[in-house]
Structures are given as C-alpha cells and as structure tokens.
Amino acid sequence: MPALRPVGHEERLSLVEHLDELRSRIILSIMAFVVAFGLCYWQSDRVLDIVNRPLEHAHRVDCEDRKKADDALERSGCFDQAVGRYLVSAAVASDRAAQALQGLAGADGVSADAKAQADGAVRALRASTQQAARAAALTPKAQTGRQPVTLGVTEPFLTTVTVSAYAALLLALPFILWQAYAFVLPAFTERERRTALPLMMLVPVLFIAGVLFGYFLALPRAVNFLQNYNDSAFDILVQARDYYRFCTILLVAMGVVFQIPIGVLAIVRLRIMTTRQLRAYRGYALILFAVVAAVVTPTPDPFTMLIALAPLVVLYEISILLARVFEPKDDSRRWAFLSDDDDDDEHGAGYGADDLD
C-alpha cells in the first residue's frame, strides 16, 4: 500500500490493513526525522550559533560607557580590551624608541661603551615590542558576547544532540503532519476534506511563522532583559542546558499561540460560535490575548508584551475574515436564533437560550 497516498473514503480496509498503514506512516515520519537530524547534526555548529546569537547580543556592551558594563564579567572583558589597546600602543612606542636610540647610538662622538649600552637597550626594546604585539593579538575582540557554559563531562555532546533534534523536528514537522493528516483523511467525507485540508496546511505554516516571530522579536528582548536585570549583583553565567530549554519553551509557545486561526476556524466550522459573535466578543478576546502574551513573554516590561500581543490581535482579526469564507451556509433555525441575537432584539420575537433548550 503506498503510504504517501491517502486512502480513499470509499475504500474499506480491515483492522490489520489500518495498522499496516499506520506502521508505514510512522516509519516514513521517523525516516524524515532521521534525515533532518543528520542534516542538523552535520551543521550543528551553525545551529548552535543561530541559537546563541540572542545571548551573545545580550552581553555585548560599549566599554567606553561604564554604565553599560555592570556585570563583573563584562567589566573584566572591558579591562582585557583596554589592556589590549595599551599593549598595541606600547609596542608602537617601544619600536619607535628602539629606532631613535639606534639612531643616537650611531651618531659621531658616542663612546664605545655608550654604543654597547645603546645596542643592548635596542635589543631589549625590540624583544619588548614583539612580546607586546603577541599579547595584543590574544586580546578578545571588541563587542564579543559570551556563550553558554557546560558543566558536565557529557553535557557538550548531549546538548549538541538535543539542539540538533529540536531543529530536526522543526524541519520534519510539515511532512510528519502530512502523514498524520493522510492517516485520518479516509474518515472524512469529500465535503469535510475540503474543510480539513486548508486547516492542516495552515498548522505547520503558522507554527513556523510563530517560531520565526519568537526568534527574531520575542526571544532577543526576553534574553536581553533577563540577562541584564540587576546584573551588577551577579557574575552571570548561563548553563547551556538551561538556556536551550528556555529558548525551546519560548519558541514552541509562540508557535502554539500562532495557531489562533486554526482554533477560530474550527470553532466556526463546528458551529460553536459565529463570526458575528466573534466580533462581538472582541474585547474579551483582547483581554485573553493580553494574559497569554504576559505568560508567554517572561519579561515584565510592557514593550515586549505588546510585541507578543500585536500578532495575536492581527491573527484574530484575520481569522474572523477567513471564518466568514468557511462559515457554514446551511445553518439550522436553532443555530440561526442562537447566533443572531441582534435580530431577536430588533423584532422582539426571538427565542432565548432557555427557550431553545
């Protein structure tokens, strides 16, 4: 049985054939995940670099501005950079002093003893210049942020594998969702398929959009706020395992939150609510979204909360517009009375919720 092609609604399969199909789709999903994992593990350096960027940017400071270097480790980094700049200038000064002293030693009227002492001083200055240049080359580059630290013997390997697995799951998610959809598709009628197919196609798209939104907007601000909060009282070191867990939870939460259109369309298609009621309850939805944004974003500043709140409101409004297209047109009289409260109030002859029961 070809596992890539969904079974038709009219086909009749035995229990064994259903289990065989399920096994085939699980195997294909695992194979897709393994291929994606191999790719992500091969490029694990780039994957880790992408995930580490918010943390590196959070610890980049302007060493000329002392108010921004409150963390003891940040001040230590600024000190290293200052020493590096001093070594560069010292190397240049020693080289120029050696050249000047060598020129004076070669002038007329200088005794042999003075020339010997001058030659020794020139050699010492040349050696000092070389040592200063070597030390300056080892100075950390300016504006270089810190990376997460590992504490256990196996933590570097296990953390790399875990992050690669998360990235592989994200890459393989569209194919895995397609396999899940293809397995349950035979239970749908042709009309139900027309409704379910757009919803299933939107799930991975919205999830990836939420992850990208979280990575480029929510995560950098959250990491920057949390890492620089009262940093003058701590030597801030971030364990790799905790940092990647935090990033994963935040990005997954943003991906799930971006599934609002799916929930709204499902509510409308199941005739739980109508688009008119969704518009009427817009204020309650805004309060709910504000609570969700406050929970998803772990920072108390209002700007980060507004960044997370704005796409939720936009998605809700877009969902209402899409729901009007997919809203059932053959509503029963009971549903019409339940959803058309305005008409009931206008004519004074509508049924209440208790009357419908």
Tell me: the pLDDT tens digits for 267-325? Answer: 887 778 888 888 888 888 889 888 888 777 766 667 777 887 888 888 888 888 878 87
Please provide the distance, in angstroms rounded to a whole number, between the alpha carbons at the two ends of the chain: 48
pLDDT-based confidence at residue 252 (cuts at 50, 70, 90): confident
Please indicate, yes or no, if residue 72 is contained in any of the structural domains: yes
Q: Map tokens 């009227």 to a residue.
A: 109
Please indicate, yes or no, if residue 341 is contained in any of the structural domains: no
Number of domains making up the chain: 1
Q: Is the pLDDT of residue 84 over 80?
A: yes
Give the number of residues written for the chain: 357
Number of helices (H), then strands (E), belonging to the chain: the values are 15, 0
Tokens of 211: 């992850």
Domain that holds residue 118: 66-137
Q: Is the pLDDT of residue 3 over 60?
A: no
Q: Is the pLDDT of residue 46 over 90?
A: yes
Count of Cβ atoms closer than 10 Å to residue 183 Cβ: 18
3 state SS of 62: coil
| Cα 75 to Cα 63: distance, rounded to the nearest angstrom | 8
Please indicate, yes or no, if residue 98 is contained in any of the structural domains: yes
Please indicate, yes or no, if residue 132 is contained in any of the structural domains: yes
pLDDT tens digits, 160-199 = 999 999 999 988 888 888 888 777 777 677 776 776 777 7
Please indicate, yes or no, if residue 306 is contained in any of the structural domains: no
Maximum pairwise Cα distance, the chain: 123
Q: Is the pLDDT of residue 49 over 90?
A: yes
Please indicate, yes or no, if residue 32 is contained in any of the structural domains: no
Please indicate, yes or no, if residue 182 is contained in any of the structural domains: no
The top-scoring range by mean pLDDT among 40-49, 145-154, 287-296 is 40-49
Q: Model-level pTM?
A: 0.71
Q: What's the pLDDT at 99?
A: 86
- Identify the bridge partners of residue 239 per DSSP, sorted by sequence position: 149
